[in-house]
Structure 1
Amino acid sequence: MASTQDVSMDGSLVDYAPVGSSTTTLSVHNEEETGITVPVGGNEPSGRYILVAGRADEKDGVRLPIPAGVLKPGITYRVAGWISLGAGAAHGTSHPVRIHLDVDDNGNETLVECGAMCAQEGAWTEIMGAFRLRTEPRSAAVYVHGAPAGVDVKVMDVRVFPVDHKARFRQLKDKTDKARKRDVILKLGAGAAASVRVVQLDNAFPFGTCINTSVIQKPAFLDFFTNHFDWAVFENELKWYHTEAQQGQLNYADADALLAFCDRLGKHVRGHCVFWSVDGDVQQWVKNLNKDQLRSAMQSRLQGLVSRYAGRFKHYDVNNEMLHGRFFRDRLGDEDIPAYMFKEVARLDPEPALFVNDYNVERANDPNATPEKYAEQVAWLQRCGAVVGGIGLQGHVQNPVGEVICAAIDRLAKTGVPIWFTELDVPEYNVSLRAKDLEVVLREAYAHPAVEGVVFWGFLQGTMWRENSWLVDADGTVNEAGQMFLNLQNEWKTDARGNVDGDGNFKFRGFYGRYVVEVTCTATGKQMLKTFTVEKGDNDTPLLVDLADA
């Protein structure tokens, strides 16, 4: 693939140009001590950077051209490198810096989002951008801009290169084995002579999807949901604006019906959500309340919802999207109100795990939603006395890159709090690319020991919030993306067979989950069936299952 070679800064100003105000200038500098920690196999920073100075506007920056013919449609590209802030930024501060691809597509110039970060003064922040084009551009350039006017921006070692998903999947194989499997010894007793067949009935790693009152009436949805998902979450039916659209007029009928539906099918349910922090998602009558009235309404919501469904939900998203909204904190003038919400939900119903839930954290494209800010939010809640039982990554992902997703999960895993993908969809009009994108996200989630489940935000054509995300066509046909999901579910189940060894044991390594074993005596042909469960444990200690007395 010679046409997709790396495009790198060569440490000179040749072909690079300032963008924006006439005062914007470029110069080349060296930094001997970058402070950048590079993973094994990563690219060592050169220490040579371009300084973008004299910026009179946030849009002022630098343009890094990409040779014609390099970028091809349908390929996911990474934009890598490092960004720092220079003069004009107060010591230790951070500001958003954005990366776009400036594309000339047959005379139509467009900006394609490639990522964003909170760049810091005195430190280097990694660019973890990505993009994919539908057509081959006539010309293109990486455009780095952002940070307030008057703040210098340092740009080091920018590279554009195609993502090798297959190489990443090979790297994940061992990681998956360590995170999701265990050695098992089936003991039949010395002298036993028998053949053994071990079949995994289900995987311990849960998958779920959102549901609503209309979609569960569709046979195509019902069939796929029943057979391939363990969990559900209500799309809108539990949200405050649904259960109390008008003040004092409570409607829990839809939520009750969906709970009864899940109970009949034996599906676990997430509670989404008790409150929503984003101003635009709060119903008008709530916005019209004064401070005392809002506090009273909030308490009534807590008491009414959580008490009504005590013991019914396994999870609660307590105050949705706090990285992107501050409605209750601002209206009540109380910074600690989110922690109060957590503590009150736990008081009224101590059973469910209580989650934070937000978007863009795994995409490296939103300075408001960096993994660092999300981890600090969790730590802040904990300092305020809240017990955070889960971190929700919504997972509305486009052009996913495994290393970018993994880096976000790694940072959040340091909190010690379990992580779930809570609203996964991968919008892409080309269903083959959609299948590849879905595989990227699912393999990263499954391979990471901190991730404990994945919930899709729907899967049926014509019923989803995000277009071009469906896995099953409206007529029930499983498309290529849906088949990828089913293939992975099959891949993550163990099927082992063979003969008992001389010590009367049968050994295999299996994914966590529930199993059935069929033992056939060699001499008599007599068969024995037994179920058992492989649970997570010390990977250095095999699980012993005694079949001698079965």
Structure 2
Amino acid sequence: MALAHEVAFEVNLIEDDGGLAGWAPVGTRTALSAHAERDTAMLISGAVSAAEPNERIRRSSGRYIVASRRADEEDGLRRAVPAGALVPRVTYRVVGWVSVQGQGDGRHHAVRVGLRVDGDGGDDERGSWLDCGAARVEVGGGWAEINGAFRLRASPRVAAVHVHGAPAGVDVKVMDLQVYATDRKARLTQLKEQTDKVRKRDVILKLGGGATMAGASIRVAQLENRFPFGSCINKTAIRNPKFVDFFCDNFDWAVVLREAYAHPAVEGVVLWGFMEGQMWRRDAYLVDADGTVNEAGQRFLQLQREWRSDARGIVDGDGRFKFRGFHGTYVAQVTTATGKMLKTFTVEKGDNSLELDLDIEI
């Protein structure tokens, strides 16, 4: 079995020349054809999202494949992944551009990309299916980015990427589809940097008394993080195998939470549960039945500690103290030769530096 350090990161496993070679139709009536897009200006760097500014820029080739005469939502097109290319416990990204054309102008349709492993790769439904991403595309509305990921527990004998979705009769178009391994350590470093940009803010504390407070010792500790975590009690959703397998079987949870926390559009996280015997998903609990916080729970608590700010230092000559902290509630303790003073304050979301008058006088 190949080890993670032997994996070629950021290398497209399904590189093609934009023609039909390597692509196959899915569906008894589906037909494939190759085309070229004249206007690709909008696609120059569209695969680089706001949450991932350091990722490589994937420029559009302008060449795409159309799957037409589709008779079912499952019909579309597929491309085999080279044998032995997928390594267990490595995170793979799936990115590309999709579009639709045909009936229902002005309507939106979902286009999905998935990975079928250890089936025959054709129309046979045997083998395992992993959802890898989806995009909501407007008919006649141009191209939309599709972006997903997956992980495998074992090396598959056969694997193929399958693009489908949208109702029968609607053509599905695919441009520059890529499957590549990501460097987990490098990604975690990137996520920490992105988290700092998305979830933190520069704060300037202005203490009452101004220069008279110069030289005072100050410690700032975060009491509450404004990013909410909750526990799911809806058994209907968590009993959906596709929903559960997509997250539990394909991802490292420490990684999933970091991805969520680093993305500006995510406002909170809901877990399936937290205590053994009180949740449906086996081995996904954070607290054992006897109340002991297990290893997974300890990692979760470590993340929560990591996502809280603690700063200390000396008040400057103007009676100010600067730090960078996560959004939430804080307490500041100021110590001088004559005593101590505590003051609570809140760091709200914002793009600019935040200046707060603490009105602390000892």
Which bracket does the TM-score occupy, shorter chain normalised? 0.7 to 0.9
* Contact 2:260 2:266 (C-alpha < 8 Å) held by counterparts: no
- Taking a change above 3 Å as real, the CA distance of residues 527 and 502 of structure 1, as seen in their structure-2 partners, is same
Partner of 2:114: 100
- Taking a change above 3 Å as real, the CA distance of residues 3 and 535 of structure 1, as seen in their structure-2 partners, is closer
Partner of 2:230: 209
**Helix, strand or coil for the counterpart of 1:190?**
helix
**Helix, strand or coil for the counterpart of 2:155?**
coil
1:176 to 179, 196, 200: 196
Specify the code of the residue in structure 2 equivalent to 1:20: G
* Contact 1:83 1:126 (C-alpha < 8 Å) held by counterparts: yes
Report sequence identity in percent: 42
* Contact 2:331 2:343 (C-alpha < 8 Å) held by counterparts: yes
Partner of 1:531: 343
1:12 to 2:29 alignment? no
Partner of 1:286: none
- Taking a change above 3 Å as real, the CA distance of residues 546 and 68 of structure 1, as seen in their structure-2 partners, is same
Measure how far apart 1:171 and its partner are.
5.3
Specify the code of the residue in structure 2 equivalent to 1:59: E
- Taking a change above 3 Å as real, the CA distance of residues 59 and 502 of structure 1, as seen in their structure-2 partners, is closer
Q: What do the CA deviations read for 1:228-276 (whole angstroms, capped 9, x no partner)? A: xxxxx8x47xxxxxxxxxxxxxxxxxxxxxxxxxxxxxxxxxxxxxxxx
1:479 to 294, 299, 305: 294
- Taking a change above 3 Å as real, the CA distance of residues 513 and 43 of structure 1, as seen in their structure-2 partners, is same
1:26 to 2:32 alignment? yes
Partner of 2:103: 89
Specify the code of the residue in structure 1 equivalent to 2:170: V
Measure how far apart 1:440 and its partner are.
2.5
Measure how far apart 1:101 and its partner are.
1.2
**Helix, strand or coil for the counterpart of 1:44?**
coil
Measure how far apart 1:141 and its partner are.
0.9
Matches within 5 A, 1:463-542: 463-511=278-326, 512-521=328-337, 526-536=338-348, 539-542=352-355
Measure how far apart 1:149 and its partner are.
3.5
* Contact 1:195 1:497 (C-alpha < 8 Å) held by counterparts: no
Measure how far apart 1:159 and its partner are.
0.7
Partner of 1:196: 217
1:73 to 2:94 alignment? no
Specify the code of the residue in structure 1 equivalent to 2:115: L
Q: Structure 1: any 5+ residue segments left out of the alignment?
A: 211-232, 237-279, 282-320, 322-359, 366-395, 400-425
Distance 1:461 1:101 in 2: 32
Measure how far apart 1:96 and its partner are.
3.6
Measure how far apart 1:398 and its partner are.
6.2
- Taking a change above 3 Å as real, the CA distance of residues 52 and 184 of structure 1, as seen in their structure-2 partners, is same
Distance 1:543 1:70 in 2: 54
- Taking a change above 3 Å as real, the CA distance of residues 480 and 197 of structure 1, as seen in their structure-2 partners, is farther
Partner of 1:314: none
Measure how far apart 1:492 and its partner are.
2.7
Q: What do the CA deviations read for 1:42-78 (whole angstroms, capped 9, x no partner)? A: 4222110112234344433222011112111122222
- Taking a change above 3 Å as real, the CA distance of residues 102 and 541 of structure 1, as seen in their structure-2 partners, is closer
Measure how far apart 1:157 and its partner are.
0.9
Distance 1:16 1:455 in 2: 39
Q: Structure 2: any 5+ residue segments left out of the alignment?
A: 1-5, 49-55
Partner of 1:427: 248
Partner of 2:63: 48
Measure how far apart 1:528 and its partner are.
0.9
- Taking a change above 3 Å as real, the CA distance of residues 201 and 159 of structure 1, as seen in their structure-2 partners, is closer
Distance 1:451 1:17 in 2: 37
Specify the code of the residue in structure 2 equivalent to 1:124: W
Specify the code of the residue in structure 1 equivalent to 2:329: G
- Taking a change above 3 Å as real, the CA distance of residues 25 and 82 of structure 1, as seen in their structure-2 partners, is same
* Contact 1:184 1:510 (C-alpha < 8 Å) held by counterparts: no
Q: What do the CA deviations read for 1:190-242 (whole angstroms, capped 9, x no partner)? A: 355644141415124153534xxxxxxxxxxxxxxxxxxxxxx8x47xxxxxx
**Helix, strand or coil for the counterpart of 1:546?**
coil
Distance 1:61 1:452 in 2: 34
Q: What do the CA deviations read for 1:486-521 (whole angstroms, capped 9, x no partner)? A: 222222333222233334443333333121304132
**Helix, strand or coil for the counterpart of 1:475?**
coil
1:139 to 158, 161, 164: 158
- Taking a change above 3 Å as real, the CA distance of residues 439 and 57 of structure 1, as seen in their structure-2 partners, is closer
Measure how far apart 1:156 and its partner are.
1.1
**Helix, strand or coil for the counterpart of 1:542?**
strand
Matches within 5 A, 1:217-232: none
Partner of 2:52: none
Measure how far apart 1:439 and its partner are.
2.9
Distance 1:398 1:440 in 2: 18
Partner of 1:60: 75
1:437 to 2:256 alignment? yes
- Taking a change above 3 Å as real, the CA distance of residues 92 and 453 of structure 1, as seen in their structure-2 partners, is closer
* Structure 1 or 2: more helix by fraction: 1
Matches within 5 A, 1:14-413: 14-21=21-28, 23-34=29-40, 36-37=42-43, 38-39=45-46, 42-86=57-101, 88-104=102-118, 109-122=127-140, 123-164=142-183, 166-167=186-187, 170=190, 173=193, 176-177=196-197, 179-187=199-207, 188-192=209-213, 194-210=215-231, 235=233
* Contact 1:105 1:136 (C-alpha < 8 Å) held by counterparts: no
- Taking a change above 3 Å as real, the CA distance of residues 167 and 143 of structure 1, as seen in their structure-2 partners, is same
Q: What do the CA deviations read for 1:277-331 (whole angstroms, capped 9, x no partner)? A: xxx98xxxxxxxxxxxxxxxxxxxxxxxxxxxxxxxxxxxxxxx9xxxxxxxxxx
**Helix, strand or coil for the counterpart of 2:196?**
helix
Measure how far apart 1:457 and its partner are.
4.1
Distance 2:64 2:120 in 1: 32
